[in-house]
Amino acid sequence: MTVGALLDAGADWLALESALRSLNLDASFTFEKTKRKGIAAGKFSVSYSEQKKHRHLPHIEKIIAQGELPEKARNNALAVFKRLGEVEAKSHDMPIEKVHFHEVGAVDSICDIVAACVALDSLGIDEIYCSRINVGSGTVETEHGTLPVPAPATTELLKNCPIFAAGPQTELTTPTGAALVTTLAKSFGPLPSVRLLAQGYGAGDKDFPMQANVLRVMIGERTGAPEATTVSILEANIDDSTPQVLGYAMERLLNEGALDVTLTPIFMKKNRPATLLSVITTPEQVERMAAVLFAETSTLGLRIYQAERRVLARKISEIETSFGKIHIKHGENGHFAPEYDDCRRAASEHNVPLRTVIHEANQAFRNK
């Protein structure tokens, strides 16, 4: 499906087919247009006659290394299989060199991974971002028998990635697909700010009655425009906690990766003074932040909602002052401010007022 989507978006079919033939796997390849629930999509297929499905990682690496592939595509394909090997080695508690690749060692899986890497290279893709991953549900038949979905290898590959299960009870993310995205994607979550150039759809083998079984790719260029990202906001009204506990909770949340945490005085029912604790975080960090809130505060419930966050491009510069080096954060609109921690440290070390350090840092940056 990934290969079909990339070809549908404009990847070079002749270059891809030539690269796959150079692997000498005695396979043939087709690319055709089809439809899934009325959506036109590309369908990439691999046909082969071999019965052998078990290969070790060194054998697969040799096949890829001997193929006539672009250097970047070859390196990416090798990285994907190495990641698969690490997961299998951990699952079976054995050295990576002795791992037998089952389904992903078959000709079609090798070709799928190599084809995806070659297609990305032909499109000149520099960065890859992935949405949350729908893993599916139910069970799947494998060389190891009937397994729950997501399969153990898929689950291990997707550790620390945002996943969900929706739609038909079937496998919607395979180990091959999971290895590709977790090896090559820069991050998971909202679409970054880009100028959209093309899109493509890749069709799966099945045709579901309730939804289109397709995978979509979008190709764009960085615009330099102000960043717009989706964030999650967690809120709780707390009226039975001490300032020390709330202060510690704030520190924990920030240390766990929250983008921002605020404490706002409010009045609740029966005119009780209370505190509104608000956390801004990325969507994939919601569960971690919620766990910290439940562990470190007395709240029994949270409100969670999505918001759009716009951020100006900014840089960090270092300037010299009579109090030492100070970092300055400055935005594309000309606004700037010295880093508080640097100024506080300098003021303490030199036994001068904090505002004196801040003033000199501001003046030094203006002069620079």
Q: Tell me the three state secondary structure of residue 294.
A: helix
Percent of the chain with pLDDT over 70: 95
- The tokens describing 277, both together, are 């604790």
Return the pLDDT at 80.
95
Task: Tally the C-alpha atoms within 13 A of residue 364's C-alpha that lie toward its C-beta.
Answer: 20
Q: Which residue has the higher pLDDT, 91 or 57?
A: 57
Domains of the chain and CATH, by start? 2-222 (no CATH), 228-311 (3.30.70.1380), 314-367 (3.10.20.300)
User: In this structure, are residues 106 and 174 in contact, taking their beta carbons and an 8 Å threshold?
Assistant: no
Strand partners, 310: 228
Average pLDDT estimate for 129-146: 89
Tell me the per-residue pLDDT of 205-251, one tens digit each, with 9 for 90 and over. 999 999 999 999 999 987 665 555 778 999 999 999 999 999 999 99
Strand partners, 321: 324
Residue-averaged pLDDT of the chain: 91
Residue 103 has pLDDT above 60, yes or no: no
Q: Which residue has the higher pLDDT, 194 or 180?
A: 180
Strand partners, 140: 147
* pTM, 2 dp: 0.66
Strand partners, 236: 277
CA dist., res. 67 & res. 114, Å (int): 10
150-187 b/e with 16+ CB inside 10 Å = b?
bbebbbbbbeebbbeeeeeeebbbbbbbbbbbbbbeee
Residue 342 has pLDDT above 70, yes or no: yes
Residue 296 has pLDDT above 60, yes or no: yes
CB under 8 Å to 146, separation ≥6 — which residues? 139, 140
Q: What is the DSSP letter of 225?
A: P
User: In this structure, are residues 313 and 297 in contact, taking their beta carbons and an 8 Å threshold?
Assistant: no
Lowest mean pLDDT among 52-56, 169-173, 187-191, 212-216: 52-56
